[in-house]
Chain A
């Protein structure tokens, strides 16, 4: 009957995704970022094959060969050498990748969930809930993140779990604010009014109508934060507030190198491997996420995007 077939209109979300992917392909830096992140993901997934742990032992504890205080240079047995106290650096950086992902993904997921719940409530109901949220986030924003996290870790007692908890407590307000802002924008749209008019419950409106339209920026912001979170966690570990000695953790491995910076008389770089290798892993990991984040920021910035 109809002369022209109705063209299926592309959903704006699909169009947005296509736009982002097209822009990403044009940017060599973001591709480099993706490659680095994929490489680290592979290392984390393949850790049991790349550095097989001794059966029956906690795989996150680095095996040590003896207790000799002086680091030993790379050898067939220890491809990246050993630290003071003879912890194997190769094993440490491989399983350290898993530790990094564990803390990064855990902190991001938990803080994003808390942020979504609180931000949604504040953005949807506004009023006093919103007012309280904004004042609480104002105060947490008024603190340099590392310093607040440091105070919290001291309060909880040093350890990786304390670092995780502290970073969640410091991190969620950013996401709550982001979701709140999106909610304020979306809830003023006609389709939300329409849903209210036909008698949808608040929960249904939030979950089915508003959230799908406001969660996208948060997902991107949160996942790109993994690099920054791993960096702060490593800094706290470096200060001696994180994992116990011998735990596979980049920050801790770098801390173990501090006594060996100046080398031996006549051979100033005798112990180059103790600080170079774990530091390079941490640096590349963080850089991978930052490369991706930088590309995204430009793509998503409405002021400069379509030029």
Chain B
């Protein structure tokens, strides 16, 4: 296991170099004056663009520029975000808890529903229940997330007056601003528990219902589909026939043997789920004005706030690389063929 771990960790380095090269490649599409905004730490610096171009060698060859840019990125300098009036790193850190809170509730629900529906579908292959689950999944997969969000808002917020957009009601925000409610993690539902404040907890939860529903509906099909096909694959294997021949009941065969092995493929697909979540956050947070990193990035994009968009892309790339690292390690932990192979 240790040899595998070291090999896998070392592989992260070239991937991260690749990801940064790609982002840097995108920066090369801008002229040096626009690119200079990536190096500004403070709006006062913007006065002397030529100085920045000279200082960071923006008129120098590709590799020198990349080196200069990387040394800034490694120091956490991602440039100045005009749309947020703060540094890009600061903006990302400020918006991160909201996104983390969405992910905290969405991801487990996607995985639980996906596994349940996929298993249900596979066990009843070609029966009515299989067709029904697949139709539901295809509908979810095909729904444009921004449209689903709008329709949910129209029905529940516009029509019924519950589940408002945003993260908190004004009174709860005022409570935070007054210092009466202490922010520990920035994840308001968790902070509310730490503050022993059920009212804020309920308020934050009410604001989470619609965005979480949107993200879960759109992404559940991914897990469902992989669970269904890998379950079907397992059910066709000889060890299942052997288990049945030994006289195990259908339920035992499915629960103890097939499901366990089918779950492995769900783990391998979780990396792709992370990508789906990150893309989904951009749209969903925008529709619900849920001020996380996705909202920040989409807002920055419409204002052509270049450093913010590239900073977010870099952040998304890193999250994805780390997610895949975790998936691979988990996979190796579960499946000895990987770590010993």
Q: Which residues of A contact B (CB under 8 A)?
A: 29, 135, 138-140, 142-148, 150-156, 158, 227, 231, 234-235, 238-241, 251, 254, 257-258, 261-263, 268-269, 272, 275-276, 279, 282-283, 286-287, 290-291, 294, 298, 301, 303-304, 307
Query: Given the known A-B contacts A29-B135, A139-B21, A268-B158, are A147 and B151 also in contact in the complex, defined by CB atoms under 8 Å?
Result: no
Do B144 and A304 have beta carbons less than 8 Å apart?
A: no
Residues of B within 8 A of A307 (CB): 232, 236
CA–CA, A268 to B162, complex, Å? 13
> B residues 243-262 with Cβ under 8 Å of A?
none
Q: Chain B contact residues: over half helix, strand or loop, or mixed?
A: helix
8 Å CB contact of B147 from A147, A158, A282: A282
Query: Which stretch from B2-10, B110-118, B195-203, B311-319 is at the chain A interface?
Result: B311-319
Do B144 and A142 have beta carbons less than 8 Å apart?
A: no
Most chain-A Cβ atoms within 10 A of its Cβ — which of B139, B142, B324?
B142
8 Å CB contact of B279 from A142, A144, A268, A287: A144
Residues of B within 8 A of A234 (CB): 144
- A to B CB contacts below 8 Å, 19 in the list: A29-B134, A143-B313, A143-B317, A144-B316, A147-B278, A151-B26, A151-B309, A151-B310, A153-B301, A154-B301, A155-B306, A234-B144, A239-B282, A261-B153, A269-B158, A269-B159, A275-B151, A279-B150, A290-B138
Q: How large is the interface on B (under 10, 10 to 19, 20 to 34, 35 or more residues)?
A: 35 or more
Query: Given the known A-B contacts A258-B150, A290-B141, are A147 and B158 also in contact in the complex, defined by CB atoms under 8 Å?
Result: no
A305 to chain B, nearest CB (A): 10
Do A275 and B154 have beta carbons less than 8 Å apart?
A: yes
CA–CA, A231 to B145, complex, Å? 9
> B residues 269-309 with Cβ under 8 Å of A?
275-276, 278-279, 282-283, 286-287, 297-298, 301-302, 304, 306, 309
Do A241 and B279 have beta carbons less than 8 Å apart?
A: no
With an 8 A cutoff between CB atoms, is B335 at the interface? no
CA–CA, A142 to B314, complex, Å? 11
Query: Given the known A-B contacts A154-B306, A269-B154, are A142 and B317 also in contact in the complex, defined by CB atoms under 8 Å?
Result: yes
With an 8 A cutoff between CB atoms, is B213 at the interface? no
B184 to chain A, nearest CB (A): 29
Residues of A within 8 A of B150 (CB): 254, 257-258, 261, 275, 279
8 Å CB contact of B154 from A148, A153, A231, A272: A272
> B residues 119-139 with Cβ under 8 Å of A?
131, 134-135, 138-139
Residues of A within 8 A of B153 (CB): 261-262
CA–CA, A231 to B140, complex, Å? 13
Do B298 and A239 have beta carbons less than 8 Å apart?
A: yes
8 Å CB contact of A304 from B147, B236, B278: B236
With an 8 A cutoff between CB atoms, is B15 at the interface? yes
Give 11 A-B pairs besides A142-B19, A235-B144, A261-B150 with Cβ atoms closer than 8 angstroms. Answer: A29-B134, A142-B15, A147-B282, A152-B26, A153-B301, A234-B144, A241-B301, A263-B154, A269-B159, A287-B139, A294-B134
CA–CA, A140 to B131, complex, Å? 35
Closest to B312 in A: A147
With an 8 A cutoff between CB atoms, is B30 at the interface? yes
